[in-house]
């Protein structure tokens, strides 16, 4: 068994920024465990940007707080919202210090009162991910275990077990502090904007270890997702609507104010679809669309032969972001000492019922900083003792591989069931139908078991 001061599960914006902050303090070895390569997951897919108030002459913290609370239907944790918003300026400065380059002009997105979205056109997440990764690989005290999935947590011994898919071996790590930063679980839905790996494995693992979760049924559906077969579904950034894009029917009638918060716009798209209407995003009035949104323009033209400057774009809604997750406080602490959760896998309460656009990258960065600050402040107070080397004494059963075609069918059943019965509007009858289907499913691998556990947890939280 290998001993690390800090183990971080996940290499998105939250996990990588936490690793960098710990490494910069030179307080011990850091290990990052990530399902794919270092740059993977949802962060590189983030198009719009980071909401941050940096010009207090034109904008204000109060305005950003109010916009966040309003989008969340005033059910947000106001204390954490205040921390989120007031940390924005420092976060942007830290990202620039790490090498992120932003456009000179901040743009406007739905739900925001002012243009406060720091962006790199429509490749913001990708640019930030590369800047963070470039710093990660320079630090000798950060070890990255790529293509590896954590699947069992022993909170009594502070041990995490993970499977390395490249080596086809199982390993165990002992930690002083564990930070869970594994993203959300919206890929448990058929129409999702998230990578296939976002199925909530680590959240299920945490729950089974005794870590408390909260509001798992709160899943945000994005209203402008390309209605073409593709996985993950192509998200058409909120910034398009901020720049003047409209949501229309085939006969070009607007169905909703495009600048309203996502839950309202998504519901309008869903309602019109239920009435048999095809819905489109109309961006033809945006001048120089290809310059403002080069990434989206390229994909639409090359993969789907859609020119956004001359054609209306077929859209639907898709499962996008999870507000629920591991319950945390203002320091990203869970109910278990020395275990933290940050980013989309956590429920910090900042989003309430509905996340305000571009608050997600900010949340991951802010609460990564909150967690690291708390860890360093309490260094030495709650130190655990590393056990004797137990290399050959791993008692937990290995990650069982299942037949891949059968596993695909298993996941498709979960995705289709959640999409049909646990979507934007939910009824008792539909929730019971979902439970009936899930109760008959028999997982044969740890991955299937965790996915089914999460799917049932979402349904039960709806009730």
In the three-class reduction of DSSP (H, G, I as helix; E, B as strand; rest coil), residue 70 is classed as helix
Whether the CB-CB separation of 190 and 266 falls below 8 Å is answered with no
Whether the CB-CB separation of 344 and 183 falls below 8 Å is answered with yes
Q: Which residues contact 4 (CB under 8 A, 6 or more apart)?
A: 28, 29, 30, 31, 143, 173, 174, 175, 176
Residue 3 CA to chain centroid, in angstroms?
A: 28
The DSSP H or E segment spanning 86 is helix 78-86
Length of the chain in residues, anyone? 463
Whether the CB-CB separation of 5 and 175 falls below 8 Å is answered with yes
Is 123 tagged catalytic? Answer: no
- Rounded to the nearest 10 degrees, how much is the dihedral formed by the CA atoms of 321, 326, 332, 337? -160
Measured from the Cβ of residue 421, the count of other Cβ atoms closer than 10 Å reads 20
Half-sphere exposure of 181 (CA within 13 A, CB side): 39
Over its C-alpha atoms, the chain yields an Rg (Å, rounded) of 22
Interatomic CA distance for residues 281 and 137, integer angstroms: 40
Interatomic CA distance for residues 452 and 163, integer angstroms: 19
Which is the catalytic residue, given 21, 116, 163, 262? 262
Of 12, 382, 384, 365, nearest to 202 (Cα)? 12
Q: Which residues contact 77 (CB under 8 A, 6 or more apart)?
A: 348, 349, 350, 352
Q: Is 147 exposed, middle or buried (0-12, 13-18, 19+ CB in 10 A)?
A: middle
Residue environment code for 306-330, b if the CB has 16+ CB neighbours within 10 A, otherwise e: bebeebbbbbbbbbbbbbbbbbbbb
| Active site positions, annotated | 262
């Amino acid at each position: 068994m290998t001993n690390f001061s800090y183990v971080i599960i996940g290499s998105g914006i939250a996990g990588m920024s936490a690793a960098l902050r710990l490494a910069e303090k030179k307080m011990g070895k850091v290990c990052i465990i990530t399902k794919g390569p270092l740059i993977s997951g949802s962060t590189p897919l983030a198009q719009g940007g980071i909401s941050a108030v940096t010009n207090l002459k034109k904008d204000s913290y109060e305005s950003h707080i109010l916009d966040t609370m309003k989008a969340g239907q005033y059910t947000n944790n106001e204390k954490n919202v205040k921390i989120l918003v007031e940390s924005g300026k420092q976060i942007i400065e830290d990202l620039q210090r790490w090498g992120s380059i932003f456009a000179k002009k901040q743009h406007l997105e739905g739900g925001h009162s002012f243009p406060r979205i720091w962006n790199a056109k429509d490749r913001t997440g990708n640019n930030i991910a590369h800047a963070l990764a470039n710093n990660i690989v320079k630090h000798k005290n950060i070890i990255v275990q790529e293509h590896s999935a954590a699947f069992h947590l022993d909170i009594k011994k502070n041990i995490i077990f993970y499977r390395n898919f490249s080596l086809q071996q199982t390993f165990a790590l002992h930690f002083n502090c564990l930070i869970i930063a594994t993203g959300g679980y919206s890929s448990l839905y058929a129409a999702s904007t998230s990578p296939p790996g976002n199925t909530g494995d680590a959240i299920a693992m945490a729950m089974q270890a005794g870590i408390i979760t909260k509001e798992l049924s709160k899943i945000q559906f994005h209203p402008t997702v390309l209605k073409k077969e593709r996985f993950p579904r192509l998200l058409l950034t909120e910034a398009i609507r901020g720049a003047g894009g409209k949501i229309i029917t085939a006969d070009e009638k607007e169905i909703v104010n495009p600048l309203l918060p996502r839950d309202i716009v998504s519901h309008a798209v869903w309602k019109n679809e239920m009435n048999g209407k095809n819905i489109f995003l109309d961006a033809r009035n945006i001048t120089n669309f290809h310059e403002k949104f080069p990434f989206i323009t390229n994909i639409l033209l090359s993969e789907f032969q859609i020119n956004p400057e001359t054609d209306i774009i077929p859209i639907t809604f898709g499962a996008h972001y999870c507000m629920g997750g591991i319950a945390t406080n203002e320091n990203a602490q869970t109910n278990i000492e020395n275990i933290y959760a940050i980013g989309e896998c956590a429920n910090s309460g900042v989003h309430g019922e509905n996340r305000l656009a571009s608050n997600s990258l900010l949340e991951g960065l802010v609460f990564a900083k909150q967690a690291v600050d708390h860890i360093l402040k309490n260094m030495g107070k709650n130190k655990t003792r590393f056990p004797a080397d137990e290399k050959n004494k791993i008692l937990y059963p290995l990650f069982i591989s299942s037949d891949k075609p059968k596993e695909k069918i298993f996941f498709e059943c979960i995705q289709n069931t959640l999409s049909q019965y646990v979507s934007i509007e939910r009824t008792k009858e539909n929730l019971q139908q979902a439970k009936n289907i899930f109760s008959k499913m028999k997982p044969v691998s740890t991955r299937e078991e965790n996915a089914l556990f999460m799917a049932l947890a979402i349904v039960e939280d709806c009730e």
